[in-house]
Chains A and B, each alone.
Chain A
Amino acid sequence: MEDEARRIAEEIVSEYRRQLESVRFEKDQVKNLVQDAIGKLTDSFNGLRSSSDEQLGLVTGLTSSMQDDDGGEDGSDKKINIRGFVSETDKILKTFVNHIILVSRQSMEMVHRIDDLSSQMAEIVELLNDINAIAEQTNVLSLNARIVAARAGQAGEAFSVVASEVRKLARNSHEFSDRINGVVRNSKKNIESAKGIVEIMASKDMSFAIEAKGRVDEMMAEVSEIDRFTAETIHKVTGVADQISNQVGVAVMSMQFEDMVTQLSESMEKKIHVLENFSQAMDPDILFGDGLTAVDRMQRLEQVLEGQRAGFNAVDRGAVQQSSMDEGDIELF
């Protein structure tokens, strides 16, 4: 009977220890799982943070490339942004229009010059008329010379030859001035048509150029508006990226609960150890040993209990008292 009781007590103790061992094993498993998961989570959050930083960098770069017109003015910066492009196009267009206006003005000047030329041509015609008058006078003179020569009869024959030569000269110079007159008349016609063309050029091109400038100005205003909207959106995106980065930072910081888990785990280990000692209470020697009175047995058990209590108290004092991660309002998971 006593042996049977001793055997059962021993079995209880060994079962108790086996279960404790199992608890310890599972505790270690929990600890490992948590450690593993936390490691991965931390890595993942760090990855998220660096991706977010990278995104922020990209967006910031985009924003600065769109808005950077303070530093890029000196020409050393070759990068062209949309605002710069718009202002540059506007500048080029202005130059272009000014050029066309200048050409138009010069065309008007040209029209005046052509008018001058035209009146000078008229003067040439007048001068040619004078030359014709001289030729005609010479002709009359030569005729009179022939008349005088005829009066002299035979003696005047030589003089008559001179007179007819003079007449030929007069006729030649008349022909010559007629030909010049023809050329001048043609030139005058050509000048008139050139004047017409230049006049069209002077009046037409300017209106077209100014119209075109108006259209391009409108388009540039639209592009500017789109650009402004894009810049605004990118600015907002930057703000969101900042928030993400902050929140990831907080999450990573919160991963420190691993330490607490580790501490709690250690405390559990100690408690399991103490519980192992607690199996002494079931010591068959105390329960069933020979030569012990009931009072002795009671006292021994009392001692074991006391020792166990002291052990538990010692473990409790060293354990972490924190039961949550609350540092602010952040909730884990």
Chain B
Amino acid sequence: MLVSTFTLGDLYLGIDIVLVREINRSMECTPVPGSHDYIRGMLNIRGRVITLFDLKKRLGWSDNELGDGAGIKQYNVIMKTHSEVLKINPRLAETKCPWEDPVGLAVDQLGDVREIVDDNILPPPANMGGISADFVHGVVEFERNLLIILDVATVLGFDERSSG
């Protein structure tokens, strides 16, 4: 499968490219009062209102790990919705893309698009820093880097029960 990669601090993360709708440079967003702290706010991209997740906060990073934050240029990875994925890959839509609302994830640096052989995907190792195993679909050793493939549904708050 093709994986769109990016970095979050020292983490090298990847998302199945079929789930990605587009990538933007970060822009001003409108905060949502009373929401979770990992909800950065609402974005309006070409008329669509998108809920933007702060991925670092969602992964439970402390303020120390978050760093200064200000001045660091970030990117928004906008996800496809369930119905959009359904048109391309119905099986994937059913198993991995339960959400119907347009959402996006704020990440640090953009990487490349990587071709991953499915057999090479390993289960998440124990004692992995910076990210809970719940959010990890699997890991791939890649040029001495460990590429962590995100389980986006879990990240967005859909657990196995609702998706299954």
Contact = CB atoms under 8 A, between A and B. Distances in A.
Contacts of A137: 25
B110 to A, nearest CB: 6
A140 B17 contact: no
Residue from A139, A140, A143, A167 with most neighbouring chain B CB atoms (10 Å): A143
Contacts of B4: 143, 146-147
Interface string B16-32: 01101111110000000
A164 B88 contact: no
B113 A146 contact: yes
Q: From DSSP, what is the main secondary structure of chain B's interface residues?
A: strand
Nearest to B17: A150
Contact of B17 (A136, A139, A146, A167): A146
B22 A153 contact: no
Given A150-B2, A151-B18, A143 B88 contact: no
A41 B23 CA distance: 132
Interface string A145-184: 0110011010000000000100100000000000000000
A190 interface: no
A234 B21 CA distance: 111
B22 A144 contact: yes
A183 B17 CA distance: 38
Contacts of B112: 167
B18 A143 contact: no
Nearest to A139: B110
B110 A153 contact: no
Residue from A144, A147, A151, A153 with most neighbouring chain B CB atoms (10 Å): A147
B158 interface: no
A12 B96 CA distance: 190
Interface in B5-19: 17-18
Interface string A61-86: 00000000000000000000000000
A167 B111 CA distance: 11
A146 B2 CA distance: 10
A140 B24 contact: yes
Interface residues of B, number: 15
B2 A140 contact: no
B88 A153 contact: yes
Contacts of A143: 4, 23, 110, 113
Nearest to B89: A153
B113 A164 contact: yes
A140 B110 contact: yes
A151 B21 CA distance: 9
A143 to B, nearest CB: 5
B23 A140 contact: yes
A146 B5 CA distance: 12
Interface in B93-132: 110, 112-113
B12 to A, nearest CB: 16
A136 B25 CA distance: 9
A285 B150 CA distance: 191
Given A147-B4, A153-B88, A140 B113 contact: no
B139 to A, nearest CB: 21
Contacts of B110: 139-140, 143
Contacts of B75: 140
B1 to A, nearest CB: 9
Given A139-B110, A140-B75, A147 B23 contact: yes
A135 to B, nearest CB: 12
Interface in A206-238: none
Interface of B: 2, 4, 17-18, 20-25, 75, 88, 110, 112-113
Top 3 closest A-B pairs, CB basis? A150-B17, A146-B113, A147-B20
11 contacts: A139-B110, A140-B24, A140-B25, A143-B110, A143-B113, A146-B4, A147-B4, A147-B20, A150-B17, A153-B88, A167-B112
Interface of A: 136-137, 139-140, 143-144, 146-147, 150-151, 153, 164, 167
